[in-house]
Amino acid sequence: MDLDRIDLTDSELYRRGFPHDLFTTLRAEAPVWRHPETAGFEQTGGRGFWVLSRYSEIRDVNRTPELFLSCSGPGLGYEGMGLMLTDMDGAPHIRQRKLISSGFTPRMTRRLEDLARQWAVSIIEDALAREQVEFVQDVAYKLPMHMIADILGIPLADRDWLFKMTNDMLLCIDPEHPVPESERQALATEIFAYGHRIAAEKRANPSDDVLSLLVTVEDEAGRLNDLELDAFFMLLTVAGSETTRNAISAGLKALLAEPEQLEALRRDPGLQKSATEEILRFSSPVAYFKRIAAEDTTIAGVPIAKGERVTLWYPSANRDGAFFEDPARFDIRRTNNEHVAFGGGGPHFCLGAHLARREITIFFEELLKRTNRIELAGDVRYSVLGIGNPLLVSIGQMPVRLKAA
């Protein structure tokens, strides 16, 4: 394959999911690769960027935060404003992360797990009553959406409206469905304003959710300010819902393609722990995260100049044959599965990793317990969010037929 002809900014590349074959070539031939200036380059701000595809470099960059900064945000399509955890470095990042983590007390985490099971059961029962469902919208979307909404204390009546806006905002970036930047900004402003209102209500009338805890937690530098709370609200609605939804959809798709494994999992729920890790490795819902080189440096011998953008392609690292045996095979019994779906273990390691793991586990436990047949009822279609968005591509539609046990 001619490397100069590879164009990661071309949305067509992702219409059938993440282009694993292309990344197998990159890992073998150019593991530290500078993206050429292609037609779609403008979507990335018109500046160059490096593409890392191998496990070892991605993990090393993740674990060298003083050299590879997060301050300009994770996406290629925008510059971070330094307010969200994902756009911060050093001491301010550590401080905000510590304060936010303190909202997830063991008691709160247990409560969230109980809620996850209740939601999973009711969502699956609803689907069973209908027999055939549009799995992404009717099922996979709902569990993470309700969990994030429970964390933020969003009233039931507002949930579909809020998450539809979040979805529309993400889809705006797809060049296939161009929407004026002003419209995307308007949606972002509305989500911010809503988050702001909710946080103000929690201050006045705290209740039993994480956001209520976060408006009161403080350290020697004080409480999280309004802007920090608004940014956290925005980050969670995006970071915690689409990612987990895609892991659940892609997990079911992978299991349906391997009926022996699906039946083994149904017979032996003890396999669920390793199955969840394999679903995460195999689906890797975050396509890439971006870093900025703090000074002139090298990665695997390739010189990288100060200020250059470096992207870490997690789905590619998770299929690296130097690290995983038979990496293209989905195997729920896989051991030593140290995937990087949640990042490579640096200070930005996914804050919701525990919750996401529990949601996926609980969902499949309840689904397999309550069904005796599940099958695809049509074509799987992908939604392409565009190179500007670190999620880039996810399963958009997956018709599924289910039969109750």
CB 35, CB 294: distance < 8 Å: no
**What is the spatial distance between Cα 388 and Cα 351, in angstroms, rounded to a whole number?**
22
The 10 Å Cβ neighbour count of residue 94 is 12
**What is the spatial distance between Cα 167 and Cα 170, in angstroms, rounded to a whole number?**
5
- Minimal distance in Å, beta carbon 125 to ligand HEM? 23
Q: Can you count the helices (H) and strands (E) in the chain?
A: 15, 14
Binding mask 99-128 for ligand HEM (x = CB under 6 A): ------------------------------
Among candidate residues 57, 12, 44, the one with its CA nearest the CA of residue 301: 57
Residue reference for tokens 């069904």: 371
Binding segment toward ligand HEM, per CB under 6 A, in 33-41, 115-123, 201-209, 234-242: 234-242
**What is the spatial distance between Cα 153 and Cα 157, in angstroms, rounded to a whole number?**
12
- Minimal distance in Å, beta carbon 86 to ligand HEM? 4
Closer to ligand HEM by CB, 71 or 355: give it: 355
* Candidate residues 351, 374, 385, 387; the one interacting with ligand HEM per rule CB under 6 A: 351
- Minimal distance in Å, beta carbon 213 to ligand HEM? 14
Q: Please list every residue from 237 through 296 that binds ligand HEM, using CB under 6 A.
A: 239-240, 243-244, 247, 285-286, 289
- Minimal distance in Å, beta carbon 358 to ligand HEM? 9
Binding mask 310-339 for ligand HEM (x = CB under 6 A): ----x-------------------------
Binding segment toward ligand HEM, per CB under 6 A, in 26-34, 41-49, 236-244, 302-310: 236-244
Q: Please list every residue from 165 through 184 that binds ligand HEM, using CB under 6 A.
A: none
* Candidate residues 17, 346, 396, 399; the one interacting with ligand HEM per rule CB under 6 A: 346
Q: At residue 173, what are phi and psi to the nearest 5 degrees? A: -80, -20
* Candidate residues 85, 162, 213, 304; the one interacting with ligand HEM per rule CB under 6 A: 85
- Alpha-carbon separation of residue 212 from 31, 32, 198, 235, 356 (angstroms): 45, 44, 10, 17, 21
Structure tokens at 333: 């019994």
**What is the spatial distance between Cα 252 and Cα 241, in angstroms, rounded to a whole number?**
17
# chain residues binding ligand HEM, by CB under 6 A: 26
- Minimal distance in Å, beta carbon 335 to ligand HEM? 20
* Candidate residues 348, 367, 374, 391; the one interacting with ligand HEM per rule CB under 6 A: 348
Burial 306-339 (b: 16+ CB within 10 A, else e): eebbbbbbbbbbbbbeebbeebeebbbebeebeb
Closer to ligand HEM by CB, 206 or 346: give it: 346
**Binding positions for ligand HEM, rule: CB under 6 A:** 62, 85-86, 97, 235-236, 239-240, 243-244, 247, 285-286, 289, 314, 341-343, 346, 348-352, 355-356
